[in-house]
């Protein structure tokens, strides 16, 4: 009898909706715990945990019933073993909470080996946009020091490797004394017993239809250097219009959070290859936010300008009656079409939860911003991935926020492929 292959076990810190984790699970890694402070994101993590569990025990029909609205979320969660329910830990990672988080992980883990820690602390304090908008350049923001808390988990669990994801602003973010946080991070982790190496990856180089550059740091226990894997860029032969395939057309304010049947005959080779479309004949969360008449007029101008001339709308070129924003000098591209004929869209960020002006659907007949599901597809989440709200009632705003903050699943899987090779070499 062939022995069962030992799974590589990991903890996901600052887990968000679980985009990074999803990529690792696809490659056979086993999550021990997800730690996340946002309650809605924790519900999303629990729902996805139920998805994986029910698939494993051949009761996927129950998950389908949930997506169809036939059973309540509380009933879905009641089917999970206690260990899996407890594996989603709804605490902020900070000095005051760390021991409680450790205790929960230790209860779940029962002394097992943690092979890997993954995660990306909230990036607002390092982001170039965040620093530009803050009078103190975010130097007083406590999120600058979450790498220290991440280090506490490395110190406690002594994994063979860790993966730390963040925005490219990490390269230039400095403390009040002018020291780069990146250098401080590397020094701290070296003190704990790890060498750290890094590079910048763009999700669009690995099959994600979105420009999304991120710093991916990998740490290895010990003093060895030169272990960072080589990532080979993939050819770009698919355009952004793939994300709209199979989804019904919507006007602004239309759609539903629940079941939406696919359009027949519009299965996409790309969507199937990247596991975005699946065996189901429906999806969820294909809902568009309402827009006022002025915004829709601006959207028509922006769409026509791009589709007819391949030009972006400059806010200052609008008629005075349409220019209601006082700031006329920065963010002049605040109304931006998601170009269907390019290989990658603009970066999807959490601001999409506040308005959709930067993510205008290219179809002038629909004349709206992206639906939740379309934004999710740009982040390469599968169509059966359900983004929860705090309560049983789903929240469009919360879903957009979780999507904007996530790591694209397809990029996460590329990282997981490389990490599996490193972990198995050990």
DSSP helix/strand/coil, 276: coil
Burial of 176 (0-12, 13-18, 19+ CB in 10 A): exposed
Q: What is the DSSP letter of 364?
A: T
Dihedral angle over CA of 221, 8, 273, 348, nearest 10:
-50
Pairing relation of β-strands 88-89 and 116-119? Answer: unpaired
b/e map 114-140, b = 16+ CB within 10 Å: bbbbbbbbbbbbbbeebbeeeeeebee
| Helix H or strand E encompassing 313 | none
Q: How far is CA 407 from CA 15, 164, 177, 360, 402, in A?
A: 10, 12, 31, 22, 10
123 as an active site residue: the answer is yes
Q: Element (H or E) spanning 202, and its range? A: strand 194-202
- Beta 194-202 vs 30-35: how paired, if at all? unpaired
| Cβ contact 162:228 at 8 Å | no
Counting other chains too, the contacts that 135-140 makes at CB distance below 8 Å and 24 or more residues apart are 138/173, 139/174, 139/175, 139/176
| 27 neighbors 420 (Cβ within 8 angstroms) | yes
Contact 46, 80 (CB under 8 A): yes
The DSSP H or E segment spanning 261 is strand 260-261
Residue 385: both structure tokens together: 């991935």
Asked if residue 112 lies in contact with residue 9, where contact means CB atoms within 8 angstroms, the answer is yes
Can you tell me the distance from the alpha carbon of 426 to that of 415, in angstroms, rounded to the nearest whole number? 17
Neighbours of 274 (CB within 10 A): 21
The pair of structure tokens assigned to 302 is 């922006």
Q: Which residue has the tokens 């860790």?
A: 162
Backbone torsions φ then ψ of 279, nearest 5 degrees? -80, -10
CA distance 201 to 345: 16
Which of 42, 94, 123, 423 is an active site residue? 123
Residues assigned a catalytic role = 123
């Amino acid at each position: 009898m062939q022995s069962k292959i030992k799974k590589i076990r990991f903890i996901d810190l600052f887990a968000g909706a679980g985009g990074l984790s999803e990529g690792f699970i696809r490659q056979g890694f086993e999550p021990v715990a997800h730690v996340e402070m946002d309650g809605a994101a924790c519900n999303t993590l629990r729902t996805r945990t139920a998805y994986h569990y029910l698939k494993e025990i051949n009761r996927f029909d129950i998950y389908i019933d949930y997506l169809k609205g036939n059973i309540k979320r509380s009933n879905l969660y009641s089917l999970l073993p206690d260990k899996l329910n407890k594996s989603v830990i709804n605490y902020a990672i900070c000095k005051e909470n760390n021991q409680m988080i450790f205790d929960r992980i230790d209860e779940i883990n029962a002394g097992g080996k943690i092979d890997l820690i993954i995660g990306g602390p909230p990036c607002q304090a390092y982001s170039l946009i965040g620093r530009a908008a803050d009078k103190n350049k975010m130097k007083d923001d406590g999120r600058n020091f979450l790498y220290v808390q991440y280090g506490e988990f490395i110190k406690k669990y002594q994994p063979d490797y860790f993966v730390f994801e963040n925005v490219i602003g990490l390269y230039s973010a400095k403390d009040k004394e002018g020291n780069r946080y990146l250098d401080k991070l590397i020094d701290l982790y070296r003190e704990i017993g790890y060498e750290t190496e890094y590079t910048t990856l763009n999700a669009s180089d690995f099959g994600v239809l979105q420009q999304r550059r991120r710093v991916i740091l990998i740490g290895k226990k010990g003093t060895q250097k030169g272990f960072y894997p080589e990532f080979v860029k993939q050819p770009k032969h698919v355009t952004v219009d793939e994300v709209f395939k199979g989804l019904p057309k919507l006007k602004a304010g239309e759609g539903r959070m629940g079941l939406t049947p696919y359009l027949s005959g519009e299965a996409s080779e790309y969507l199937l290859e990247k596991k975005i479309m699946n065996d189901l004949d429906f999806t969820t969360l294909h809902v568009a936010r309402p827009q006022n008449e002025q915004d829709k007029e601006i959207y028509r101008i922006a769409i026509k300008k791009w589709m007819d001339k391949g030009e972006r709308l400059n806010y200052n070129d609008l008629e005075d009656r349409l220019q209601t924003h006082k700031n006329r000098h920065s963010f002049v591209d605040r109304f931006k079409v998601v170009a269907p004929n390019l290989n990658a869209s603009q970066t999807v960020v959490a601001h999409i939860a506040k308005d959709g002006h930067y993510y205008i659907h290219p179809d002038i007949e629909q004349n709206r911003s992206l639906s939740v599901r379309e934004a999710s597809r740009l982040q390469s989440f599968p169509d059966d991935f359900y983004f929860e709200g705090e309560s049983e009632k789903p929240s469009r705003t919360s879903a957009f926020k979780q999507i904007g903050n996530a790591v694209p699943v397809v990029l996460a899987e590329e990282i997981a492929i490389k990490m599996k090779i490193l972990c198995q070499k050990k």
